[in-house]
Amino acid sequence: MDLMFMALSYFKRRKFEESAELCTKILEKNPYDQAAWALKARSLTEQVYIDEVEAEEQGIAESVMDDASVAQVSRPGTSLRAVTGAGPSPAVRPVSQSGRPLSGFVRPGTQSGRPGTMEQALRTPRTAHTARPVTSASGRFVRLGTASMLSSPDGPFINVSRLNYSKYAARPNLAKVLFEYIFHHENDVRNALELAALATEQAQFKDWWWKVQLGKCYHRLGMFRDAEQQYKSALKQQIMLDTVLLLGKVYQRMDQPLQSISTYKQGLEKFPDDRSLLVAIARVHDEMGQLDDATKWYKDVLETDGVNVEAIASIAANYFYTDQPEISIRLYRRLLQMGIHNVELFNNLGLCCYFAQQYDMTMNCFDRALSLADDEQLGDVWYNISHVALGIGDNNLAYQCLRLAIAADNGHTEAYNNLAVLELRRGDMERAKSLLRSAAELAPQAYEHHYNLATLAENAGDLQTSYSSVLKSVAAFPDHMDSKNLLKTLKQHFESL
């Protein structure tokens, strides 16, 4: 059988390694076979392809040293970094380091907490659901590119540094294949940008595809204004769904969520009821802390796609935190019927059954969660079981569960805080202080342990420590009345002195 036919067959069946091997054999016999060269380049590209439409995770470099925003203090409701108080308070729903309520569905952009300072970013050993600080997106692309080189023991398939880009730019079919290989496989953004610029010029600036690729290169390099111009120019020539999503992603990186939502809504006029656009709008509202609006858009998603996991999970989480666990149970059961069986789902079902007073199902769900959990997930499951134990009045069981949670995840700040409260009930004040200090170092953005530490220090007569701790508590949660009252009492005491 013809080797080229077999290679094409493997490629269509997404067996890219086998396709690349057959193309290598063809090129060994005829190094100038352009069809085999192009097919091998595409096969290698598909092995490491990353969808640029999905918003990437922002790491320390992007979150701390971000110079894309114009104003340091944005108006409420206009920035992803300044979450308004429209959503639930931190006393009801856990929040990230930036004060944003944690989403009900883990997706790119929701795992990091956007630490406020470099010192805080470097010393934070635990973000939401991770055991270490999230690395930058650029680092992820570099690691993928270097790992893919292991498939070529004799060296790279294409020596990018020796290519004549003007020659390839004049041949559009080969130029597009070569660009994707350089951009995705080699992760050489600067050379990819050079090829795209020459090809755009060769096409007399009339090819929308090359303008989109220029925008991707500018985005990777952090040149968001240039990327915006390229995407807008491409949309004038050809309205494509991916281009609309990429343009909205650029506005999010420039901290312009309202402009991003406007872009997505303009896309809905051309692509009515498109699921990806509806989900994108809901995500932006979710990141801005506008949970009611996010739920509305997620419901619109379910009207067009009734089995969308992200929409179902996000709506279920919002219903749970608005004291409607019965509705959350129905939604989580729907996910079970769809064949999703993981730790998070059984953990959430256990909590919903407990608060809906369906106690016969609560421990069964937590048992399933424990049987499926790995080392990183055990901490959250044991922490939630401790709440059930506290609810039934078994403080000894709650104490053991919290100890197990810390043993599984030594960065679980909530477990440290609750364990300190139980230690205080046992009369061990020094150990309670030690646990609260550990929680304050791990999560300076939370308020509970700061307030508890301030209360302990006040009772012990250490007013200076109490004052500094209660200031941190008020900064983390300005509407917490107990913290405000304690701060007022301490100020009156200092004034009397």
Q: What is the DSSP string of 206-252?
A: --HHHHHHHHHHHHHTT-HHHHHHHHHHHHHH---HHHHHHHHHHHH
Dist CA 378 CA 371 (whole Å): 10
Asked whether residue 57 is assigned to any structural domain, the reply reads no
Dist CA 451 CA 193 (whole Å): 52
Query: Which pLDDT does position 488 carry in this prediction?
Result: 87
Asked whether residue 104 is assigned to any structural domain, the reply reads no
Handedness of CA 321, 324, 325, 331 (dihedral sign): negative
Non-local CB neighbours of 306 within 8 Å, separated by 6+ positions: none
What one-character DSSP code corresponds to residue 135?
P
How many Cβ atoms are within 10 Å of 344's Cβ, its own excluded?
A: 21
Query: Which pLDDT does position 118 carry in this prediction?
Result: 44
Cβ atoms of 135 and 59 within 8 Å: the answer is yes
Asked whether residue 427 is assigned to any structural domain, the reply reads no
Non-local CB neighbours of 432 within 8 Å, separated by 6+ positions: 420, 421, 423, 424, 456
Helix, strand or coil, per DSSP, at residue 95? strand
Asked whether residue 80 is assigned to any structural domain, the reply reads no
Query: Which pLDDT does position 497 carry in this prediction?
Result: 64
**Which residues, in sequence order, are bridge partners of residue 254?**
none
Q: Residue 320's domain is classified under what CATH number?
A: 1.25.40.10
Q: Which amino acid is at 104?
A: G
Series of mean pLDDT values for 10-residue runs along the chain (497 residues): 91 94 92 91 92 64 51 62 57 63 66 46 38 36 39 67 88 92 92 94 93 94 94 95 95 92 95 94 90 93 92 93 93 93 93 92 93 89 94 92 93 92 91 92 87 89 87 85 87 78
Asked whether residue 208 is assigned to any structural domain, the reply reads yes
Phi, psi of 287 (to 5 degrees): -70, -25
Query: Which pLDDT does position 123 carry in this prediction?
Result: 44
Dist CA 381 CA 255 (whole Å): 35
What one-character DSSP code corresponds to residue 101?
B
Non-local CB neighbours of 427 within 8 Å, separated by 6+ positions: none
Asked whether residue 446 is assigned to any structural domain, the reply reads no
Dist CA 366 CA 380 (whole Å): 11
How many Cβ atoms are within 10 Å of 425's Cβ, its own excluded?
A: 11
Tokens of 379: 């901490």
Asked whether residue 77 is assigned to any structural domain, the reply reads no
Number of domains in the chain: 1
Whole-prediction pTM value?
A: 0.82
Query: Which pLDDT does position 58 carry in this prediction?
Result: 58
Asked whether residue 145 is assigned to any structural domain, the reply reads yes
Query: Which pLDDT does position 134 carry in this prediction?
Result: 33
Tokens of 404: 């197990």
Domain that residue 147 falls in:
3-52+137-330
Dist CA 368 CA 251 (whole Å): 42
Query: Which pLDDT does position 443 carry in this prediction?
Result: 85
Phi, psi of 95 (to 5 degrees): -125, 165
